[in-house]
Amino acid sequence: MDEGVLKKYRLAHDISDDVIDFARPMIKEGARIIDVAEKIEKKTREMGAMPSWPVNFSINEIAAHVTPDIEDQTFLRRGDLVKVDIGCQVDGYISDRAFTICVGEKGHPLIETSEMATRAALDALEPGVTVSEISAIIEDIVVGAGFRPIRNLAGHSMSQNSQHEPPTIPNSKTNDMTVIREGTPLAIEVFTTDGSGWVKESSPTTIYKFLRDAPVRMPEARKILEMAKNDFEMLPFATRWLNMPRVKMGMALRQLLEAEAIEAFPPLKEEAGGMVAVYEDTKIVL
């Protein structure tokens, strides 16, 4: 990997370390999620990085892809299993991180299992190892702890301005013999659950992403498309960032989805309603 690129990945990772240290103490009983989310995004920018996506706050049986909307009045309650997913990028080079906190408690077996499996997989990542070997390490730890990995969520590589690139690292055993090569950036994200081990799409969606220019009639739709391209640099954005009357915004987003100008990221919910934890870290395989 190019020395300059490696430096940017490392800087993004260092910034994400600081952002996580800043975020953790705020995840406590009585905190209003939207306030915490906005502080985290502001901190990311102050540190000299761009948020690669709106900070995700997914609670209990929701695994991922939730960020508070502008009128969200959710406060954290004792016992909530809160998954915080943070992306920091420097010149498009991303550090993809997530952690889970059980509000008001010292820990939770699902959290410990996710962390243990993620760390074991990261330790085993070296040039020449196969996807199949890494996935087996993850599943063995999770199943050994008495839980299930979420089978339709996976670790992944990435590249400049792209959050997801092959290879994919499933959290359950696979025959994929793809060899991990030197210089591959990889995010390992082990989702664990006491439910079925599958997530399905839910609602309401609060995260979208630019796909392509398309002719749309509503002025609000055209405005969103402009913002998605210019202000949000084609990265995933939050409805909270649009600053638009809600009814019109909803209609405009529907029009953009129909025109395939934007992509929706609906909340991902554990199919059987099980609790979900995640731990994610990014590493350059060297």
Please list the active-site residues. Answer: 85, 96, 156, 164, 189, 280
Spatial separation of the C-alpha atoms in residues 115 and 269, rounded to whole Å: 20
CA dist., res. 154 & res. 279, Å (int): 12
Tell me the site size for Co ion, rule CB under 5 A.
Answer: 3
What residue is closest to Co ion based on CB?
96
Helix (H, G, I), strand (E, B) or coil at 175: coil
What angle separates helix 3-23 from helix 33-46, to the nearest 10 degrees?
150
Q: Which is nearer to Co ion, 80 or 189 (CB)?
A: 189
Q: Where are the beta strands (DSSP E) in the chain?
A: 50-51, 56-59, 62-64, 81-90, 93-102, 148-149, 154-159, 162-170, 185-193, 199-201, 207-210, 237-238, 262-264, 268-270, 276-284
Q: Which is nearer to Co ion, 56 or 255 (CB)?
A: 56
187 binds Co ion (CB under 5 A): yes
19 or 187: whose CB is closer to Co ion?
187
What is the dihedral sign for C-alpha 160, 161, 165, 171? positive
Is 281 a binding residue for Co ion by CB under 5 A? The answer is no
- Minimum CB separation of residue 185 from Co ion in Å reads 11
Least Å distance, CB 219 to Co ion, is 35
| Residues 188-217 within binding reach of Co ion (CB under 5 A) | 189
Options 182-190, 196-204, 211-219, 229-237: segment touching Co ion (CB under 5 A): 182-190
Using rule CB under 5 A, residue 158 touches Co ion: no
Instruction: Please say whether the beta carbons of 95 and 87 come within 8 A.
Output: yes
Strand partners for 97? 86
> Tell me, what DSSP letter sits at residue 180?
P
Of 37-45, 89-97, 168-176, 267-275, the segment contacting Co ion by CB under 5 A is: 89-97
Q: How far is the CB of 208 from Co ion (least distance, A)?
A: 18
Torsion angle in degrees (nearest 10) through CA of 14, 18, 19, 21 = 140
| Only segment of 122-130, 134-142, 181-189, 231-239 that touches Co ion (CB under 5 A) | 181-189
Closest approach, Cβ 117 to Co ion, in A, equals 15
Q: CA 158, CA 285: separation in Å to the nearest integer?
A: 12
From candidates 61, 96, 270, 281, binder to Co ion by CB under 5 A: 96
Q: Which residues make up the interface to Co ion (CB under 5 A)?
A: 96, 187, 189
